[in-house]
A = this chain, B = another copy of it.
Amino acid sequence: MKNVTIHEIAKALNINSSTVSRALNDSDRVTSKTKRKVLDKAKEMGYQRNMLASNLRRKRSNTIGVVVPRISRHFFSSTIAGIEETAYKLGFNVIICQSLEELEKEELIIENLIANRVDGILISVSMGTKKGMHLANCLNNRIPVVFFDRHLEGFPDMGKVLIDDQLGAYRATEHLIQKGCKKIGHFSGPKSLQIYRNRLEGYKMALKNYHIPYDESYVLTSKLMKKDGLEMAKKILEAHSDLDGLFCANDTAAVGAFDYFKTIDKRVPKDIAIVGFSNEPFSALTEPSLTTIDQSGEEIGKAACSLLLENIASGNTLIANETVILNPKLIERGSSQR
């Protein structure tokens, strides 16, 4: 039982395969009577269009490539979900690849995506990626590229969909101020990462706008694991027993701080109000639940995919020098209600 092709259908109906092809594609160069005959016969013979052949001929794959550092991280799986949803609506397939934060693997992935003639690439670069020759190579091959979340400087021809970390941090801090906090600490992450510098900046800006003096000793830096949060909570209270608000640059560290405060009978949010960052799934489950900043991976994914698809549809004429900045949202929960 061999594969059914348009040629088989053509032979069976005693017409030409080009007519079959046009009938299947609903071209107006074919009578509706013929179309019907073809469609019926196709169904009868169990015809399955071979996209490999179609893609080769049409020089497009109807596929976009997505590269993320690690699929299982909640933020990235959310973006992927958003991407898939958007792509699916327009009939595009999505190839997913993970760089595992290795530049070398990222380069191989890009190579492979080019070889597979994807119509476009969405990428959140690995931490090790500083230069982007492999990405420039995409443009040489007329494959549009859109960064999301993590991007590289110096590629004006590539789209970017970013979240305004600074604004998110600003809102988090502002929220604490509006809840009456006067002495607000900040747990920051590695300064090597732009996002943490931005979040610190937003914190500072909020303080400034509300005329609260910035005191560097209220800012502690770590890798923001849970135990780091716990340790920093201890440290900051030793230095500043008057602390009444805390903005953590991620949710995990906030949970660590929670735990420490409980052990010393500081009440959250009564004594100390806390705001985290990222809206991790667990932040709704803590006791009290954690006020945080939502980066909506899904929205980012949708926006990035839309930008890319527009580009593809336009024949890459407007090769995206566009940058979309999404606004993070404050998710108000128990940890800041006082």
Contact = CB atoms under 8 A, between A and B. Distances in A.
Interface string A253-283: 0010011001000000000000000001110
Contacts of A81: 70-72, 98
Given A51-B116, A117-B51, A46 B140 contact: yes
Contact of A116 (B52, B56, B80, B298): B52
Given A56-B56, A74-B72, A285-B252, A93 B116 contact: yes
A50 B115 contact: yes
| Oligomeric state, in copies | 2
Interface in A208-222: none
Interface string A277-300: 000111011110000000001100
Contacts of A49: 115
A50 B117 contact: yes
Nearest to A283: B282
A61 interface: yes
Given A70-B81, A71-B80, A93-B95, A48 B115 contact: yes
A72 to B, nearest CB: 4
A48 B117 CA distance: 9
Interface string A226-241: 1000000000000000
B97 A84 contact: yes
A49 to B, nearest CB: 5
A93 B112 contact: yes
A76 B14 CA distance: 49
Interface in A122-180: 140-141
Interface in A54-111: 55-56, 61, 63, 70-74, 76-78, 80-81, 84-85, 88, 93-98
A61 B52 contact: yes
A285 B114 contact: no
A94 B96 contact: yes
A297 B74 CA distance: 14
A85 B56 contact: no
A53 interface: yes
A72 B78 contact: yes
Contacts of A286: 285-286
Nearest to A78: B72
A334 to B, nearest CB: 11
Contacts of A140: 46
A286 B281 CA distance: 13
A226 B252 CA distance: 19
Contacts of A93: 95, 97, 112, 116
A223 to B, nearest CB: 15
Given A93-B97, A93-B112, 15 more contacts: A48-B114, A48-B141, A50-B117, A52-B116, A71-B77, A72-B74, A72-B298, A74-B74, A74-B77, A77-B80, A84-B96, A252-B285, A258-B287, A259-B287, A262-B287
29 contacts: A48-B114, A50-B117, A51-B115, A51-B116, A52-B52, A63-B95, A71-B80, A71-B81, A71-B84, A72-B80, A72-B81, A73-B77, A74-B77, A80-B96, A84-B96, A84-B97, A88-B97, A93-B95, A93-B112, A94-B96, A95-B95, A95-B96, A255-B285, A280-B281, A280-B282, A281-B282, A282-B282, A282-B285, A285-B286
